[in-house]
A and B are shown apart, each in its own frame.
Chain A
Amino acid sequence: MSTTFPEADDLRELYRELIIDHAKSPRHFGRIEEATHCAEGINPLCGDKLKLYFTVDEQDRICDARFEGSGCAISVASASLLTETVIGLETERALNFFAAMVNRLSGRPDEQPQNSEQVDEIDLGKLRALEGVKDYPSRVKCATLAWHALNSALRQNHKPATTE
């Protein structure tokens, strides 16, 4: 898209093409009827509401992930990217991704991972597209909402995850 206004470049840091693409065409959108793990994520501030479903096999590996709900471009894209990332991962590895995302986007680790070295060495890959939120404090919660829900689901918490 053309830069018709000066702050377009700054905004493009937030709304990168990959984000817009995932927001408009979320991957793995829907529910898993026979999910082994699921959790809801609610951001009361902006009304984002996502529900994440996972199927975890006997080897503790996530073999399917889906989500449904509504939210802003950032929260939907983040959930969509989450599903692409965690399918095929062991749950412990997925939880390390959760810790890495929260640490790097908010700069405030609120979840001490069991093995911080493993968290630090994580290559976020295309999840780095979400790093633009760091300059928009009010939007960090949008980007981490789905990850909080993942944490909640895999740890079998029964209360909805919130970003508060």
Chain B
Amino acid sequence: MAGLSERLQAGEQAFSIEDCRKDFPALSQEINGHPLAWLDSGASSQVPATVIDTIAEYQRHDHANVHRGVHTLSHRATEAYEGARDSIAGFVNARSRREVLFTSGTTAAINLVAQSFCRPRLREGDQILVTHLEHHSNIVPWQLVCDQTGADLVACPIRASGELELERMLELMDGSTKMIAVAHVSNALGTVLPLTEIIAEAQRRNIPVLVDGAQAVPHMQVDVQALGCDFYAFSGHKMFGPTGIGVLYGKEAVLDAMPPWQGGGDMILEVRFDGTTYNELPYKFEAGTPNISGAIGLGAAVEYLRSVGMDRVRHHEQQLLEYMVDRLSGIEGMRLIGTAGNKASLQSFMLDDIHPHDLGTILDSQGVAIRTGHHCAMPVMEYYGVPGTARASLALYNNRADVDRLADALVKAKEMFA
């Protein structure tokens, strides 16, 4: 069976998105005697054959260090690495490839901004504004820089639905606010945040904004220019790429004014003991030999997503999410956590008083993989007064059968604990 990319290349436009499933080898296995229903893409997505093959081909034939050698393999590796950067720049509509920095992931991207952008600017009494629904990786880096500078971290509250108290968020922006960091999509609740309103007010007040896009990029078209944010961070392994690679988008003028975060090779123009001059963007922020195969794999993942089309992905996932919410709501004892009007790709829930961890084990015995626990969002769990939740998260390869399997397995979990 030809993969999606081949079908597209063959000019076959009328493919069903359901066919994408065949492009992901891991999905065709059995777990505990049942076909795998992978509903944990929010933690990490599976990888299409085209990404696996691209990485293998690179390792087999083209591997060398980048930006260094005059030999053929170094040239090939550099072309592939920089080609991936171009793909990604186009995918999120950056103005320039200089605005796309490779990092090890969203976490490293946010830490880079906290340390390089914020740390030199912050003074005692300054504030960094986040929201109550952030992932730990969009909380702790700011706490660290607050400890280093005496600045304060302020979190805008949320409502029971999982929506942000937007009016409060706008009120919290004042003269002391030096940075705003918000998720695009909440990893624990699925809420899509009102970025347009937040960024418009922030721009009016000249406050820089970082968006944590880890849970958005795999599920919807992201246009960093249209958003107008100063920084946008995301991870490869949640968008069908490998682990250990991610991206920090930053506005060129902002990145230009920032000092390097880490020093080393590749980020310099000239090193002398009486002073070193730094390389231009984006290399100023890519010290040391980068994750070349990871970047190339991420480039292949981006090409895959583009071949499917993000509008198609979004449409498919929205319909499937509605179906999943319906099916879950029909189970007696179900408590949905995260019921915002605008949600993407995932649903958190509790079933009766069964601990999420027990649910996870029982579902796994039936081949259904979900995430259980606090989802690295302990303040969200505290807000809802739960130790953790069960979370089913979708990607373009999921179908109604996966959702039906989830619902059936949950009914069986109820029997087990009856």
Interface residues of A (CB under 8 A from B): 1, 4-8, 10-11, 14-15, 20, 45-49, 70-74, 76, 136, 138-139, 142
- Which residues on the A side are within 8 Å of B354 (C-beta)? 73
Q: Is the CB of A47 within 8 A of B358?
A: no
Which among B372, B381, B388, B416 is the interface contact of A1 at CB below 8 angstroms? B416
Instruction: Provide the bound-state CA to CA distance between A123 and B281, in Å.
Output: 67
B342 at the interface (CB under 8 A from A): no
Q: Is the CB of B366 within 8 A of A45?
A: no
- Which residues on the A side are within 8 Å of B28 (C-beta)? none
- Beta-carbon nearest neighbor of B389 in chain A: A47
Q: Is the CB of A72 within 8 A of B412?
A: no
Q: Is the CB of A47 within 8 A of B365?
A: no
- Which residues on the B side are within 8 Å of A8 (C-beta)? 416
Q: Is the CB of B355 within 8 A of A72?
A: yes
Q: Is the CB of A72 within 8 A of B357?
A: yes
Which among B361, B366, B378 is the interface contact of A5 at CB below 8 angstroms? B366
- Which residues on the A side are within 8 Å of B365 (C-beta)? 7, 10-11
Q: Is the CB of B412 within 8 A of A74?
A: no
B63 at the interface (CB under 8 A from A): no
Instruction: Provide the bound-state CA to CA distance between A14 and B361, in Å.
Output: 10
Instruction: Provide the bound-state CA to CA distance between A10 and B373, in Å.
Output: 23
* Given A1-B418, A5-B366, A10-B365, CB of A72 within 8 Å of CB of B374: no
* Given A72-B357, A73-B355, CB of A7 within 8 Å of CB of B417: no
Instruction: Provide the bound-state CA to CA distance between A10 and B362, in Å.
Output: 10
Q: Is the CB of A142 within 8 A of B32?
A: no
Chain B residues touching A, majority SS? mixed
The minimal Cβ–Cβ distance linking B397 to chain A, given in whole angstroms, is 24
B259 at the interface (CB under 8 A from A): no
Q: Is the CB of A20 within 8 A of B417?
A: yes
- Which residues on the B side are within 8 Å of A7 (C-beta)? 32-33, 365-366
Q: Is the CB of A47 within 8 A of B373?
A: yes
Which residues 350-400 in B have Cβ within 8 Å of A in the complex?
354-358, 361-362, 365-366, 372-374, 378, 381, 387-388
B415 at the interface (CB under 8 A from A): yes
- Which residues on the B side are within 8 Å of A71 (C-beta)? 355, 357, 387
Q: List 15 A-B contacts (CB under 8 A).
A: A1-B416, A1-B418, A5-B366, A6-B33, A8-B416, A10-B365, A11-B365, A15-B358, A20-B417, A47-B373, A47-B374, A71-B387, A73-B355, A76-B355, A139-B361
The minimal Cβ–Cβ distance linking B386 to chain A, given in whole angstroms, is 9
Q: Is the CB of A70 within 8 A of B387?
A: yes
Instruction: Provide the bound-state CA to CA distance between A12 and B407, in Å.
Output: 20
Which residues 23-56 in B have Cβ within 8 Å of A in the complex?
32-33
Instruction: Provide the bound-state CA to CA distance between A136 and B416, in Å.
Output: 17
- Which residues on the B side are within 8 Å of A139 (C-beta)? 357, 361
Q: Is the CB of A72 within 8 A of B362?
A: no
Instruction: Provide the bound-state CA to CA distance between A142 and B373, in Å.
Output: 13
- Which residues on the B side are within 8 Å of A6 (C-beta)? 33
Instruction: Provide the bound-state CA to CA distance between A128 and B374, in Å.
Output: 30
- Which residues on the B side are within 8 Å of A15 (C-beta)? 358, 362, 416-417
* Given A10-B365, A45-B373, CB of A1 within 8 Å of CB of B415: yes
Max chain B CB contacts within 10 Å: which of A10, A47, A74? Answer: A47
**14 additional contacts (CB under 8 A) given A4-B412, A49-B387, A142-B357:** A1-B418, A4-B415, A10-B365, A20-B417, A46-B357, A46-B387, A47-B381, A48-B357, A48-B387, A70-B387, A71-B357, A74-B357, A136-B361, A138-B361
Q: Is the CB of A46 within 8 A of B372?
A: yes
- Which residues on the B side are within 8 Å of A20 (C-beta)? 416-417
Q: Is the CB of A11 within 8 A of B416?
A: yes
Q: Is the CB of B373 within 8 A of A46?
A: yes
The 3 closest A-B pairs by CB, nearest first: A72-B355, A72-B357, A47-B387
The minimal Cβ–Cβ distance linking A103 to chain B, given in whole angstroms, is 23
Instruction: Provide the bound-state CA to CA distance between A6 and B33, in Å.
Output: 9
The minimal Cβ–Cβ distance linking B243 to chain A, given in whole angstroms, is 18
- Beta-carbon nearest neighbor of A136 in chain B: B361
- Beta-carbon nearest neighbor of A20 in chain B: B417
The minimal Cβ–Cβ distance linking B333 to chain A, given in whole angstroms, is 14
Instruction: Provide the bound-state CA to CA distance between A107 and B236, in Å.
Output: 36
The minimal Cβ–Cβ distance linking A132 to chain B, given in whole angstroms, is 11
Instruction: Provide the bound-state CA to CA distance between A115 and B354, in Å.
Output: 39
- Beta-carbon nearest neighbor of A19 in chain B: B358
- Beta-carbon nearest neighbor of B381 in chain A: A47
- Which residues on the B side are within 8 Å of A46 (C-beta)? 356-357, 372-373, 387-388
- Which residues on the A side are within 8 Å of B357 (C-beta)? 46, 48, 71-72, 74, 139, 142
- Which residues on the B side are within 8 Å of A5 (C-beta)? 366, 412
Q: Is the CB of A72 within 8 A of B358?
A: yes
Q: What per-residue 1/0 map shows which CB atoms of B402-418 lie under 8 Å from chain A?
A: 00000000001001111
The minimal Cβ–Cβ distance linking A68 to chain B, given in whole angstroms, is 13
- Which residues on the A side are within 8 Å of B374 (C-beta)? 47
Instruction: Provide the bound-state CA to CA distance between A10 and B364, in Å.
Output: 12
Q: Is the CB of A11 within 8 A of B362?
A: yes
The minimal Cβ–Cβ distance linking B415 to chain A, given in whole angstroms, is 6
- Beta-carbon nearest neighbor of B378 in chain A: A47
Instruction: Provide the bound-state CA to CA distance between A71 and B378, in Å.
Output: 15
